[in-house]
Amino acid sequence: MARYIQPSCKKCRRLGVKLFLKGDKCLSDKCPMQRRSYIPGQHGLMGRKGKITDYGAHLIEKQKAKFHYGLMEEQFRRYFEKASRQRKIPTGERLIQLLEKRLDNVLYRAGVGTSRQMSRQFVLHKKVYVNGKSVNIPSYSVRAGDKITFKDSLKNNVYALSFKERNISPPAWMNIDNDKWEIEILKEPSKEEVSVPFNEQLIVEFYSK
């Protein structure tokens, strides 16, 4: 499976927005976005960014969303196509809903992993159960009523312990029981309950051209 292996901070600097790809590390003073505001590359120090075209503005929003959730282009496009096939809610809102329901994202939102990449590793290493069954697919889509639990070995992981210590306020669409190490999905996530660093409407317009 293809994966991005270049420095994560280059993505944020190129797009000019913090995507928190390294989780809590992005809050420290060592974060390049804190120390260097110029874009990466040989000519970044010149600070001259050409005028952004209409196409460029739409592309940037798509890239923000793709990097934010840690997806490659083909995978992200499949989510968009799935979102566009329904007519019940706006395509942009449905796209966010589908991305938020990914199992790796759920663990990140709940605070089990300090980044989506870390949460993805927990899933791939078979540390996560959904309704009592082991799931090792990060893109697994959770549904209302699902209960997520964890393998005992994960409960002693120094990073996963933040699940109990950080006391993160969960989104309204999930309930967290820190003592039982259990996450329950209460309902479908909605746009109003999710904070994202991109404009989903521009993404819809990008793929509609």
Render pLDDT for 53-86 as a digit per residue (tens, 0 to 9): 999 899 989 998 998 898 999 999 999 999 999 8
Give me the pLDDT at residue 80, please. 96
Which residues of the chain are modeled with pLDDT < 70?
Answer: 1-50, 162-164, 166-167
Domain architecture of the chain: domains with CATH? 8-96+197-208 (1.10.1050.10), 102-187 (3.10.290.10)
pLDDT number for residue 169: 77
Q: Nearest-CA neighbor of 64 among 206, 191, 208, 203?
A: 203
pLDDT value at position 170? 80
What pLDDT score does 182 carry? 93
SS (H, E, C) the chain: CCCCCCCHHHHHHHHCCCCCCCHHHHHCCCCHHHHCCCCCCCCHHHCCCCCCCHHHHHHHHHHHHHHHCCCCHHHHHHHHHHHHCCCCCCHHHHHHHHHHCEHHHHHHHHCCCCCHHHHHHHHHCCCEEECCEECCCCCCECCCCCEEEECHHHHHCCCCCHHHHCCCCCCCCEEEECCCCEEEECCCCCHHHCCCCCCHHHHHHHHHC
